[in-house]
Amino acid sequence: MPSYAPLTPDALVSMVADRCLARADRTRVAVDGAEAAAPADFAGRIAARLRSTGRPAEVVELKDFLLPASQRLEFGREDPDSYRERWFDFAALAREVLDPLASRGAAQWLPRLRDPETDRSVRAERQPAPDGLVLLVAGPMLLGRWLDFDLSVALRVDERVLRERTPAELAFTVDGVLEHEKENRDEPDILVRYNHPERPAVAVAA
């Protein structure tokens, strides 16, 4: 079991931002966390900190890269295994967002793929990727997918907290998230104990 050192929320944001600023090239960052950990909110704070230094930064949410409902809901609307393996279009995320940013020349990326309400493509315009862009991808179960990130942050909460904070309509997702975290062997660059977002703690070497 790792040991953890407490940080203030601002210090945690600064830690991740500093890791990004240490890289001159475009940087693709995973902010991996269940719905209960609000990874998009955390990614947004990092992006704001980076922009305050003059570094371009954007956030992509995994929930905007869903597979079609015919695939997601084939085994019902509340199947945890489907949530884990059939809800999100990780291939499209790699193809449309992560892979283009690996090149050193001109590149474009797609901010959204599908509207979950209409189950249709949102026809979003591709965005230019300026030099030095930091693009943060926020959502659950990003690690262990063979996605090409330059930096990864994992916001982890205990099962009890996960079940308490997950909205009732998404309660079925908890078992899928827990099973994925149990089986995943990819270690994040920054592991955060996030039961109390106002009092985060970061894993440190023994």
Q: Tell me what pLDDT residue 118 has.
A: 80
- pLDDT digit string, tens, across residues 76-115: 788 888 999 889 999 999 999 999 999 888 999 999 998 8
- pLDDT digit string, tens, across residues 22-66: 999 999 999 999 999 999 999 999 999 999 999 999 999 999 999
* CATH value at residue 77: 3.40.50.300
The domain total for the chain is 1
Cα torsion at 68, 62, 148, 78 (round to 10°)?
A: -60
Q: Tell me what pLDDT residue 108 has.
A: 96
- pLDDT digit string, tens, across residues 150-180: 999 999 999 999 999 999 999 999 999 999 9
Q: Tell me what pLDDT residue 205 has.
A: 59
Count CB neighbours of 81 within 10 A. 11
- Give the domain extent around 29: 3-204
Indicate the burial class of 23 (C-beta count within 10 angstroms; 0-12, 13-18, 19 or more).
middle
- pLDDT digit string, tens, across residues 64-82: 999 988 888 777 788 888 9
Model confidence at 126: pLDDT above 90: yes
**Vertex 186, ends 81 and 86: CA angle to 5°?**
25
Structure tokens given for 12: 């945690």
Spatial contact of 132 and 39, defined as CB atoms under 8 Å apart: no
**Vertex 91, ends 15 and 79: CA angle to 5°?**
90
Q: Tell me what pLDDT residue 204 has.
A: 74
Q: Tell me what pLDDT residue 163 has.
A: 95
Q: Which helix (H) or strand (E) holds 93?
A: helix 90-93
